[in-house]
Chains A and B, each alone.
Chain A
Amino acid sequence: MNRIVDHPILGPLSEAEVVHIIVDGVPFTARKGEMIASALIANGKSTFRKTVKRNEPRGIYCGIGRCTDCVMTVNGIPNVRTCVTAVEEGMVIETQMGSGEWQ
């Protein structure tokens, strides 16, 4: 886990309700209210999609919803910006291949 549990300025990590998500078929736990990208990084996943032509990996770049490098297929909807979309209980998230497909 890559959670920052203790922090000299921000203090200890607060308690948060656990949210269950499925990422590429694997169950992950997340903190209620956090962004999908944050939950994936906490669980050690850094490749969010593969590019259209050369199948190259991409992860987060700007983290504030501007660059669209972190888009994934979420609950069957492609091109969801995971850095500005919060996790929800039971969410199904998939590494997006190319420009993705509606499911």
Chain B
Amino acid sequence: MNQIKREIVVIGSGPAGLCAAIEAARSGAQVLLIDENAKPGGQLFKQIHKFFGSADHRAGVRGLDIGEALLKDAEELKIEVWLNSEACGIFDSTNVWVVRDKQHSITVQAQRIIIATGAVENSINFPGWTLPGVMGAGAAQTMINVNRVLPGHRFLMVGSGNVGVIVSYQLLQAGAAVVAIVEAAPTLGGYGVHTAKVRRAGVPFYTSHTVKEAHGNGHVERATLVRLDEKWKEVAGSEFEVEVDTICIATGLTPAVELAFGSGCMAVNSPALGGLVPVHDETMRSSNTAIYVAGDVSGVEEASTAMEEGRIAGLCAAHSLGYLGQGAYEARLGVLTRNVNALRSGMFGQKRREAKEYIVSSYGAHR
């Protein structure tokens, strides 16, 4: 089997992985960035809305433009990038088994690995949920914004969190109708500014409602909605039908932890951030001291947070190999830590900040 050596291998070229690679390369380390897709950027290029945060976090800039800027940085730093390359496993702690172009098997012996594999959309099950026309909200977003095709014309959105309302608005921009947004909770879940845009466009919201069944002959043609009581039980007799050809599920994300756990990283449960995640310290180092994690795999948040975490992981992985003097390292880490904490402040960030603190505080027990 082919075997090569690299100082730092970053797995996943989404916002976290790209930033990790850039930061590590800027610190002086030799970096290899791996992604199974034909194009780098992960899910950044389907984010055509403007991001939140302060100017430091590039607020007001659209996700796809941030993606372009990061790719330019990576190019200028001459970071080695392998596309169409699947990281299939990590063994003996630092050997990454990669299959390139679905044909060539190669092992990369790394001194440090940064896992930035992101997250996967959750689903909910109901009769008819397997029909063509039922899909993740993120899948619909990929189709309309990256592939420029409409997977349907009349949409039902299940879930009113940020993904649900942002994708709903982008479906309208793409020329589709959003017939309804249902939310099982009694209150809406998304940021006010995103929610208000969809409301102004006349899309009806149904709180305390969910989808009961999808109907159709070979494809979604209709959906039955039902009201839920305060105990989340269906209210008999409250069912009604909507004519839709596509049902989008926006019910949260689960960290894509297979590689991390397969490599022996210890887990901690963080319900607020998507479930089981690799336990890590404030430098994003996992219980395996050669492996770092960053972005949604370490707890589902937002692309802005993923980028800051990626930078922290890249910086600290490089420093652990002897790059950057202590002063320069501490100064930079201070800036990045302040940035990421700023994204976890305020009424929307408090819960995520507490959840992250719990993960970090669990680190000692897992060493």
- Which residues of A pack against B, CB within 8 Å? 2-4, 7-10, 13, 33-35, 37-38, 41-42, 46-48, 56-67, 83-84, 86
Tell me whether A61 and B139 are in contact in the complex, defined as CB-CB below 8 angstroms, given that A4-B144, A4-B174 are known contacts: yes
In the A-B complex, list the 10 residue pairs whose CB atoms are closest, starting with the nearest. Answer: A63-B139, A59-B132, A38-B147, A46-B132, A63-B142, A2-B150, A42-B149, A4-B148, A41-B149, A66-B120
Closest-CB distance, B251 to chain A (whole angstroms): 13
* Complex alpha-carbon distance, A66 and B108, angstroms: 23
Chain B, residues 138-164, CB within 8 Å of chain A (1/0): the string is 111011110111110000000000000
Closest-CB distance, B34 to chain A (whole angstroms): 14
Q: Which of A33, A38, A66, A67 contacts B143 (CB 8 A)?
A: A38
Please tell me if the beta carbons of A2 and B36 are within 8 angstroms of each other in the complex: no
Please tell me if the beta carbons of B132 and A10 are within 8 angstroms of each other in the complex: no
CB contacts (< 8 Å) of A67 on chain B: these are: 120
User: Does B234 sit at the interface, judged by CB under 8 A?
Assistant: no
Please tell me if the beta carbons of B36 and A65 are within 8 angstroms of each other in the complex: yes
Chosen A-B contacts, 23 in total, with CB atoms closer than 8 Å, are A2-B151, A4-B149, A10-B48, A33-B38, A37-B143, A42-B147, A46-B132, A46-B219, A56-B130, A59-B133, A59-B135, A59-B219, A60-B139, A61-B134, A61-B135, A61-B136, A62-B135, A63-B135, A63-B143, A64-B43, A64-B139, A67-B120, A83-B142
* Complex alpha-carbon distance, A82 and B147, angstroms: 13
Total A-B pairs, Cβ < 8 A? 97
**Band of interface residues on B:** 20 to 34
Near A by CB (< 8 A), chain B positions 187-230 give 218-219
Q: Which of B130, B138, B144, B149 contacts A58 (CB 8 A)?
A: B130
Please tell me if the beta carbons of A46 and B133 are within 8 angstroms of each other in the complex: yes
Closest-CB distance, A11 to chain B (whole angstroms): 11
Tell me whether A57 and B132 are in contact in the complex, defined as CB-CB below 8 angstroms, given that A10-B148, A64-B138, A64-B139 are known contacts: yes
Tell me whether A64 and B142 are in contact in the complex, defined as CB-CB below 8 angstroms, given that A41-B149, A47-B132, A84-B37 are known contacts: yes
CB contacts (< 8 Å) of B37 on chain A: these are: 65, 84
Please tell me if the beta carbons of B149 and A63 are within 8 angstroms of each other in the complex: no
User: Does B121 sit at the interface, judged by CB under 8 A?
Assistant: yes
User: Does B259 sit at the interface, judged by CB under 8 A?
Assistant: no
CB contacts (< 8 Å) of B43 on chain A: these are: 64
User: Does B62 sit at the interface, judged by CB under 8 A?
Assistant: yes
Please tell me if the beta carbons of B120 and A62 are within 8 angstroms of each other in the complex: yes
Q: Which residue of B lies closest to A48 (CB)?
A: B132
CB contacts (< 8 Å) of B62 on chain A: these are: 9
Tell me whether A38 and B120 are in contact in the complex, defined as CB-CB below 8 angstroms, given that A47-B219, A62-B138 are known contacts: no
User: Does B131 sit at the interface, judged by CB under 8 A?
Assistant: yes
Closest-CB distance, A86 to chain B (whole angstroms): 6
Please tell me if the beta carbons of A62 and B121 are within 8 angstroms of each other in the complex: yes
Residue with the highest number of chain A CB atoms closer than 10 Å, among B37, B139, B140: B139
Please tell me if the beta carbons of B219 and A3 are within 8 angstroms of each other in the complex: no
